[in-house]
Amino acid sequence: MLKYTLRRILGMIPMLFLISVVVFTLALAMPGDPFSGEIDPNNTDPEYIEEMREKLGLNDPIHVQYGRWITNFVQGDFGKSTRYKMPVSDLIAERMPNTIFLGVTSLAITYILAFAMGMYAGRRPYTPGDHFIGGFNYFGLAIPSYIAGVFAIYLFSFQLGWIPFQGSVDITLEKGTLDYWISKIHHVITPAIVLGLLSTASYTQFLRNDIIENSRKDFVRTARAKGTPERKIYNVHILRNSVIPLITFLGFDIVTLVNGAIITEAIFTYPGIGQLFLSSVTNQDYPVLMTLTMMFSFLVLLGNLIADILYGVVDPRIRLD
């Protein structure tokens, strides 16, 4: 197992290198000078611009520029945001907690709902309750998150006034107080449900089908024959077997959250990493854009790695490959 894990981690390194080359190339291909943030835009004296370009190394050959960028990057120096005039690492550190909070809440809601509904439907297949959950799943899979988000805002915040429609916290509240945290949860709950809608539907469906399939197996018949209560059969014997494949989805959750956070944060104007990314594209804030793209790619790689390793844990045959 350890050997397999190590091999997978080592396999990530060339991938990360290639992705960094792609990100760098894309940044060069974008309109404007990717690293010109330090140049004062109001000073149009060609001599000054040339001097600054020379000083910032923009006249060096491309591979030298790449080398410098990646060296700084690996050492944690991501450059300075051209828009916010502050180090990118600080900017990300400021927004990151919001996104993590959103992601974790979304995961928690997803798993709680999926387990509750999946176990209910799996135990009573083809009953009205199961069909109701099945219908919900169809909608969950078909409705894109932005439509669900827009409807949620329209219904719950404009019509009913239950939830705020933007921001991550009520800014008038003092940091650290109980009200502050309640306000935070109040702000995050709807985006989190919207973000987790798709996963909830697919996990519920998966768990239901797996429970039904497992309930026809021999060990269940044995358990029934020796008089185990039906409750225990479903909640212990079957669930244990059905949860295993579900665990492997954890890695893919990271990928879903990365892609989903961008859209969800835009709908709810929630100040997180996804929104920072979108604004960096619109404002051509290249240091932020490059760092975030690298970070997202790294997270996706990590997610796939976790999924693969968990597959290896669950199914020993995969490790031999």
Partner 1 sequence: MEVLTEKNTKQTPSKPPKSMSPWAIARRKFVRNKLAMVSSFFLLTVMIMSFLAPYITTIDITRVNIGQMSLPPSGEHWLGTDKSGRDVFVRLLYGGRVSLTVGIAATALIVVFGTVIGSIAGYFGGVVDSVLMRFTDFILNFPFLVFVIVLNAILFGKLSGVWVLIVVISVLGWGGVARLVRSKILSEKENEYILAAISIGCKPSKVIIKHLLPNVLSTIIVQATILFATMIVAESGLSYLGFGVPTEVPSWGNMLSTSRDPDVMQNMPWTWIPPAVVLTLTILSINFIGEGIKDALNPKSYR
Binding site for partner 1 (CB under 8 A): 15, 18-19, 22, 26, 29-31, 138-139, 141-147, 150-151, 153-154, 158, 165, 255, 258-259, 262-263, 266-267, 277-278, 281-282, 289, 292-293, 296-297, 299-301, 304
**Residue 32 region, left (φ>0) first, then alpha (ψ -120 to 50), else beta?**
left
- Least separation in angstroms between residue 23's CB and partner 1 is 8
Q: Which residue's CB is nearer to partner 1, number 122 or number 303?
A: 303
Q: How far is CA 102 from CA 13, 183, 227, in A?
A: 29, 13, 45
- CA 61 to chain CA mean position, Å: 36
Partners of 80 in the β-ladder? 87
Diameter over CA atoms, the chain: 90
The residues, ordered by sequence, that sit 6+ positions from 267 with a Cβ below 8 Å of its Cβ are 145, 146, 149, 150, 153, 191, 194
Q: Which residue's CB is nearer to partner 1, number 44 or number 282?
A: 282
Partners of 87 in the β-ladder? 80
- Least separation in angstroms between residue 32's CB and partner 1 is 11
Q: Which residue's CB is nearer to partner 1, number 119 or number 292?
A: 292
- Least separation in angstroms between residue 82's CB and partner 1 is 15
Q: Which residue's CB is nearer to partner 1, number 246 or number 255?
A: 255
Q: How far is CA 4 from CA 300, 309, 310, in A?
A: 19, 8, 11
Q: Which residue's CB is nearer to partner 1, number 91 or number 233?
A: 91
The residues, ordered by sequence, that sit 6+ positions from 178 with a Cβ below 8 Å of its Cβ are none
Q: Which residue's CB is nearer to partner 1, number 122 or number 274?
A: 274
- Least separation in angstroms between residue 155's CB and partner 1 is 10
- Least separation in angstroms between residue 210's CB and partner 1 is 19
- Least separation in angstroms between residue 70's CB and partner 1 is 18
Q: Which residue's CB is nearer to partner 1, number 29 or number 171?
A: 29
- Least separation in angstroms between residue 146's CB and partner 1 is 5
- Least separation in angstroms between residue 86's CB and partner 1 is 22
Q: Which residue's CB is nearer to partner 1, number 32 or number 316?
A: 32
- Least separation in angstroms between residue 278's CB and partner 1 is 6
Residue closest to 259 by CA, chosen among 201, 303, 212: 303
Q: Which residue's CB is nearer to partner 1, number 169 or number 201?
A: 201
